[in-house]
């Protein structure tokens, strides 16, 4: 059974220095691109999880094209959290201990 990784686009997979419109996606972040490629080679699934999707199909197409150019394949793009996602890679997330509401020891907010 493969793992499904969820990866944010802006500031996680691609450099982000402010909103410049849905047609602009920053340059790839090499370490994250390599990680995604390794997951794909291993047979894992990778889904781009981004708020950009709320802008509609054009935004999805721009992201898919960016993925094709920089990762070598089109990845699924969504803004809907699903139970099969095993992990989330995001620059804004705060990890909490399950069922407590408390930031985990891994969180800078503890």
pLDDT tens column, 79-92: 999 999 999 999 98
Name the pLDDT band for 108 (thresholds 50, 70, 90): low
Asked if 68 and 75 count as a contact pair (C-beta separation under 8 A), the reply is no
In the chain, the domains with their CATH numbers are 4-89 (3.40.50.1000)
In sequence order, which residues have a C-beta less than 8 Å from that of residue 28 and are 6 or more positions away? 13, 14, 15, 70, 71
**How far apart are alpha carbons 25 and 23 in whole angstroms?**
7
Please choose, from the candidates 54, 55, 65, 56, the residue with its C-alpha nearest in 3D space to the C-alpha of residue 14.
Answer: 65
Q: What pLDDT does residue 96 have?
A: 87
The token duo for 21 is 């419109």
Q: What pLDDT does residue 110 have?
A: 52
Asked if 86 and 49 count as a contact pair (C-beta separation under 8 A), the reply is no
**What pTM value is reported for the model?**
0.88
């Amino acid at each position: 059974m493969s793992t499904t990784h969820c990866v944010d686009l802006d500031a996680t997979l691609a450099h982000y220095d402010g909103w410049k419109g849905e047609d602009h996606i920053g340059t790839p972040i090499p370490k994250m691109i390599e990680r995604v490629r390794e997951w794909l080679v291993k047979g894992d699934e990778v889904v781009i999880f981004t708020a950009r999707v709320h802008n509609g199909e054009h935004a999805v197409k721009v992201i898919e094209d960016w993925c094709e150019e920089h990762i070598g394949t089109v990845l699924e793009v969504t803004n809907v959290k699903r139970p099969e996602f095993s992990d989330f890679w995001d620059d804004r997330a705060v990890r909490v201990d399950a069922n407590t509401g408390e930031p985990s020891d891994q969180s800078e907010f503890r």
